[in-house]
Amino acid sequence: MARIAGDEEETTVSDGGKPMRLWGGRFESGPADALARLSVSVHFDWRLVPYDLMASRAHARVLNRAGLLTDEELERMIGALDDLETACKTGEFRPTVADEDVHTALERGLLERLGSLGGKLRAGRSRNDQIATDLRLYLRDNVRAIISRLVEVETALMAQAATHADTAAPGMTHLQHAQPVSFGHQLLAHVHAFARDIDRLIDWDKRAAVSPLGSGALAGSSLPLDPVVVAEELGFTSAAPNSMDAVADRDFAAEFLFDAAMIGIHLSRLGEEIVLWASQEFRWIEMDDAYSTGSSIMPQKKNPDVAELARGKSGRLIGNLMSMLTVLKGLPLTYNRDLQEDKEPVFDTVDTLLLVLPAVAGLVSTMRVNTARMSATASDGFALATDLAELLVRKGVAFRDAHEAVGHLVVYCQVNDVDLGEVSDEDLAKVSPHLTPDVRDVLNVPGALAARKAHGGTAPDRVRDQLAALREAVDAQAAWASGS
């Protein structure tokens, strides 16, 4: 028995038998071993089996409508394809070391079941339009699964945000205390980013929903086939209008990888914040034991591995995008064997997202927030200075002058080791005549939060408005992913 290393597991295959190729008629001898090893892709494209068989059924039906398969032959063909799919699922049928790719292996399985009748299915199609179709079907299916997992992350963040709409936290720029914010507001910032990711994927699907099947190798077919009917049967919205573009196009794969890389960026940013929040310096959250690990030498440690891995996996997603773009750069029309390299980056990206997203959702949903710690540090670093400057503006002071006056007050506080609200009336007046005793009215965190009540602001009421709108949007995204 030989073994082929697959993307997810090693696949056991059988040795022996004459190598089966879909292109050997013109050649007097077989390929060199080095070429055969370089060319083989069945160890990673085997996951396309259900999509290749789905397209084969549609192709069989269009051959029947064209009079190239009798009704009896079609019935036998569909039965054999169904049986082959079952055998693939159970592991009864597996690729051999002699199979070049998923298409070769499945044709071998069909010939084993139908004899020469199985060879009729190849009429009017090529591996070039087959693989372009299979990859689109695979991605359109898996994008829905990815969106469903993203919705779980969004839902976990929104649940925490609903609990902490009124929880004050230090808002930061440059990782320095800036202004108090609602912690719920900060959590929802991540939801908005993931919501854009989902919107991009839904929009991507409109461009991916074009069927290449019927384009043949590059020029279409002289047989009386109907690519539009095939497209409809496979759930595409249209058939490709240009056969050369159809077999050469991998925009849909590159665009998916870009969308996935952006998801990775947003996961990385959330992961980085969780790492900070869980640190001894912040102590904003405590992670659940189920989503943490310990140290092999330091018994007190609780490490944010899920957040760190989410941050680290973004490198794979970005790298897969770069790999695809580099493969596509400068390729002449139409199909080139370089395009064998289009699948592994796509498969790895799908696997990575479906692995990371459930872990992140679990981490977020189970983390415990230290509201007392957050609230106690929300005004640290003179974070209420902007509220003071804006009070002066409301009293008619030019913002330039208000900014300068409050800046002088901050310097006074630093020199004298006091907070803004601890400065005496006399010393306020010495710093600036604009700083009258009533400025203390705005030097409280709840008031600072409530005051930022404009659309998009951090006021708890606005946070609850965001939540209501996001719940509606996320429900719509979940419905799209489920097809309902």
- Residues with catalytic function: 174, 295
- The residue type of 457 is G
Using H for helix, E for strand and C for coil, what is the string for the chain? CEEEECCCCEEEECCCCCCCCCCHHHCCCCCCHHHHHHHCCHHHHHHHHHHHHHHHHHHHHHHHHCCCCCHHHHHHHHHHHHHHHHHHHHCCCCCCCCCCCHHHHHHHHHHHHHHHHHHHHHCCCCHHHHHHHHHHHHHHHHHHHHHHHHHHHHHHHHHHHHHCCCCEEEEEECCEEEEEEEHHHHHHHHHHHHHHHHHHHHHHHHHHCEECCCCCCCCCCCCCCCHHHHHHHCCCCEECCCHHHHHHCCHHHHHHHHHHHHHHHHHHHHHHHHHHHHCCCCCCEECCHHHCECCCCCCCCCECHHHHHHHHHHHHHHHHHHHHHHHHCCCCCCCCHHHHHHHHHHHHHHHHHHHHHHHHHHHHHHCEECHHHHHHHCCCCCCCHHHHHHHHHHCCCCHHHHHHHHHHHHHHHHHHCCCHHHCCHHHHHHHCCCCCHHHHHHCCHHHHHHHCCCCCCCCHHHHHHHHHHHHHHHHHHHHHHHCC
Number of Cβ within 10 Å of residue 50's Cβ equals: 15
